[in-house]
Structure 1
Amino acid sequence: MEKHIWLERWENNETGFHESSVNPLLLKHFHALELPLASRIFVPLCGKSLDVGWFLAKGYCVVGVEFSESAVKELFKELEEEPYVVKEGHFTHYSAENIDIYVGDFFDLTLELVGNIDAIYDRASIVALPAEARPKYAKHMLALTRSAPQLLVSIEYDQNLSNRTPFNVDSDELHTHYAEHYTLSQLDTLEIEGGFKGKIPASDTVWLLDDLNL
């Protein structure tokens, strides 16, 4: 997604992609990552996701990146945390105990900035990007996290019926981006009640991307 479109949606409260509860596929399948407590989980395009608070409540650390500063402010407000805010290069860094959120462009993030990442939770990030940006996204994700394991939630539907986000990202595409670096396991598929945009048959699929050598 183009940065200005993402920002406009937050500014105009057009945030239908924001879930009003913790993602059910996360609740059901998070255990598949087998993470010890205090592991650092990277959440790209985190917005003000309730999933972030769930990770923190379970004893994990969160590192996120988000275009919209207003979304990040709302996130900390809902977490009832007073963030420490500082400029770091291209980013405004919001932090509190066990949480670091960088306001800026994902593609500007560096390994030195985010530090060690133990796992990635991609629920609404790769599907927010147009097809031409996704190969670059996957390549940068791999470099940024040293190919940390991922719990990834994709959406699948007939892209010919809609040109709006979230975009269709199917199994073939995920394998194209990641099969050289991970073993991809499809854990679950959940039909979207009422369909995508209320009319197009669609499903959410949760994937575990783990060590290629396992």
Structure 2
Amino acid sequence: MEQAFWHDRWHKGQLGFHLPFVHPILTRYLPAYDLPEGAGVFVPLCGKTLDIGWLLAQGHRVIGAELSERAVSQLFAELGVEPHIEAWKGGRCFRHGDLTVFQGDIFALEPDEVGAVDLVYDRAALVAMPAPMRKSYVAQVSSLSDDAPQLLISFEYDPREMDGPPFPVLPVELERLYTGTHALAELSRKDVIAHQPVFREAGVTRFVEVAWQLLPSGVRGV
């Protein structure tokens, strides 16, 4: 999507993608990755998700990337901490303790700025990308994380019933996007339309949330 679209959503407080609780997929499946304390978890397009505070509480380092400065400011405010802020070529970098968030253009980030990544947690990033941008996004995240394992959440619904974002991303597309870098294993799938009033009102009849484990090719999963 155009950057102006997301800036406008945050400005107007249209945050249907923001959950008021820690995502149960994260708490359920993170142990499967057997991360050591202090592991680096990269959260692209992180918004102000409560998942970040939970990851920090588990003893992990969190590196986020988020376009909206409003979202990043609210994230640190809701964590109750005052970040150190400095400029970087894509925007501004907010840091406090084990949390670093690069506010600005994720495509301007470079691996040495992100540092060591042990896991990518893609909770709402790939599904926010229209189809023409997904290949570039996947390549960028793989580069930033050195093809680290991923916990990825995708959605499946009939695109004739609603225009995204979030967009439906089907298994066949995931296989195509990650061929050569990751092997995919489906962890769970659940129709969550009952908990999506905005989508129900838009006429969506089925909205399936799918959790995926992505491991570097050749590594065995759960």
TM-score by length of 1: 0.97
What stretches of structure 1 move > 2 A for 4+ residues in a row?
Answer: 193-196
Contact 1:119 1:148 in 2 (8 A): yes
> Which sits farther off after the overlay, 67-76 or 195-204?
195-204
Partner of residue 213, structure 1: 218
Deviation at 1:155, TM superposition (A): 0.6
Give matches, 1:32-47, under 5 Å.
32-47=32-47
Alpha-carbon distance between aligned partners in 2 of 1:211 and 1:114, rounded to the nearest angstrom: 19
Q: Give the gaps of 5 or more residues in structure 2.
A: none
Residues matched between the structures, number: 214
Contact 1:66 1:103 in 2 (8 A): yes
Alpha-carbon distance between aligned partners in 1 of 2:35 and 2:50, rounded to the nearest angstrom: 19
Partner of residue 132, structure 1: 132
Give matches, 1:45-64, under 5 Å.
45-64=45-64
Partner of residue 105, structure 1: 105
Partner of residue 184, structure 1: 184
State the identity %.
36
What letter corresponds to residue 141 of structure 1 in structure 2?
Answer: V
Q: Is residue 2:219 matched to residue 1:202? A: no
Partner of residue 153, structure 2: 153
Alpha-carbon distance between aligned partners in 2 of 1:202 and 1:6, rounded to the nearest angstrom: 22
Alpha-carbon distance between aligned partners in 2 of 1:89 and 1:195, rounded to the nearest angstrom: 39
Contact 2:182 2:217 in 1 (8 A): yes
Contact 1:32 1:208 in 2 (8 A): no
Q: Give the gaps of 5 or more residues in structure 1.
A: none
Contact 1:33 1:208 in 2 (8 A): no
Partner of residue 69, structure 2: 69
Partner of residue 141, structure 1: 141
Partner of residue 80, structure 1: 80
Tell me how large the CA RMSD over aligned residues is. Answer: 1.1
